[in-house]
Amino acid sequence: MSFSFKLINEEDSSRRGEILTSHGPIQTPAFMPVGTYGAVKAMSPLTLEELKAEIILSNTFHLMERPGIEVIKEHGGLHNFIGWKKPILTDSGGYQVYSIAKNKSVSNEGVQFNSPLNGDKIFLTPEICMDLQLAFNVDIAMVLDECTAYSKDKEKVKDSMQLSVLWANRCRDRFNSSQNALFGIIQGGVFKELRESSINSLVKIGFEGYAIGGLSVGEPIEEMIKIVNFVSPLMPKDKPRYLMGVGTPMDILKAVEMGIDLFDCVIPTRHARNGYLYTSRGLVRIRNSNNKNNLDPLDHNCSCYTCRTFSRAYLHHLDKTKEMLGSTLNTIHNLSYYLNLMADLREAIEQGKLRPFLSKFKENWEKFID
């Protein structure tokens, strides 16, 4: 197995670690930029490398629809197809089946739905999901899970969680890679008892890493934090812990504090395209007219290409004139912000200084509109 994880340092619950894969190492805690269709929006692989991204996430569901598995197979896997040489994680499609599939019907066997793209009938099973990700040859594959909306109906959530465990079992059986990792996904909604049962079942099956799924699906933010706080310490210490789809910088900080190692989220890239930019002094809406004549860089404390080269006024101008370059420069900056934040967190944990780092950050954060 080319995949391994080791802890380098711990401070309270937080962890500084390193994942090794056949496409290189990933320093954790790590943030994974999202490249839904095998491209992080407005970024080239070269630019992502320059930003020191060590892993990106791509979406099985979307790639299955376009370009389809055959094209990726012919390229010998997703890395070759998209020109990205470093690690890739693909989600399983469980979340997209929940969020964008039409007319879905779930059975023990799998889930049937209509493609949101062309209406085609698609039947996704744990086995098919594994075959897809095996053909992608990605460094980290995710089990197919059932993701459900926020619900207070414990019996319903329990049934769904148990189905996810059943599927996780079949995923493990099918996923016969000697090289790449398969992560289990913990479900159980906002019910601690169900979350615990889910973890125990998944650990019994045995995965190379574990993810917390089924959050950010409509539950109040406090519930989410409570669950992460409960689940994280129950997750195996010697495996990477991944909090799926999270989040804002503040969410990430809180989760790192609770011992999470991996994150992915569309926020930095989507916000960038909408002109919301993270800076050391707060969130800047570049479209605001007070940037029209502003000769300052976006963030004096940032050394990304965008901040080194352009004024806020130019970024404002690109936004107003809908120039694609604006999306690119904004994305460079926001990803730089996220990736630097992760580097700062790693350094703080290494030096046993996470606490002062967090309190200082939280203090500044008050100014953020988020």
**Which residues contact its own copies (rule: CB under 8 A)?**
37-46, 66-67, 70-71, 74-75, 81-83, 292-293, 295, 305, 309-311, 313-314, 316-318, 320-321, 323-329
* Percent of the chain that is helix, strand, coil (3-state, to 5): 45, 20, 35
Closer by beta carbon to its own copies, 41 or else 154? 41
Nearest to 340 by CA among 302, 283, 305, 284: 302
Two structure tokens written together for 27:
């320093």
What is the Cα–Cα distance from 365 to 370, expressed in whole angstroms?
A: 9
Nearest approach in angstroms of CB 29 to its own copies is: 27
Look at strands 56-59 and 88-91 and give their pairing. Answer: parallel
Look at strands 262-264 and 30-32 and give their pairing. Answer: parallel
Closer by beta carbon to its own copies, 329 or else 339? 329
Tell whether the torsion through CA atoms of 132, 137, 138 and 139 is positive or negative: positive
Two structure tokens written together for 231:
């689940």
Whether 153 sits among the annotated catalytic residues: the reply is: no
Cα–Cα distances in angstroms (integers) from residue 350 to residues 49, 340, 357, in the given order: 24, 15, 12
Closer by beta carbon to its own copies, 76 or else 356? 76
Catalytic residue among 145, 251, 261, 264: 264
Catalytic residue among 91, 139, 261, 299: 91
Closer by beta carbon to its own copies, 272 or else 345? 272
Nearest approach in angstroms of CB 134 to its own copies is: 20
Whether 91 sits among the annotated catalytic residues: the reply is: yes
Closer by beta carbon to its own copies, 23 or else 239? 23
Closer by beta carbon to its own copies, 41 or else 104? 41
Residue 341 phi/psi, 5-degree rounding, is: -60, -45
Two structure tokens written together for 31:
């943030």
Give the three-class secondary structure for 323.
coil
DSSP H stretches of helix in 142-236: 154-174, 192-205, 221-231
Nearest approach in angstroms of CB 85 to its own copies is: 10
Q: At what angle do helices 324-350 and 249-257 cross, to 10 degrees?
A: 20
Nearest approach in angstroms of CB 55 to its own copies is: 18
What is the Cα–Cα distance from 172 to 127, expressed in whole angstroms?
A: 9
Catalytically active residues, by annotation: 91, 264
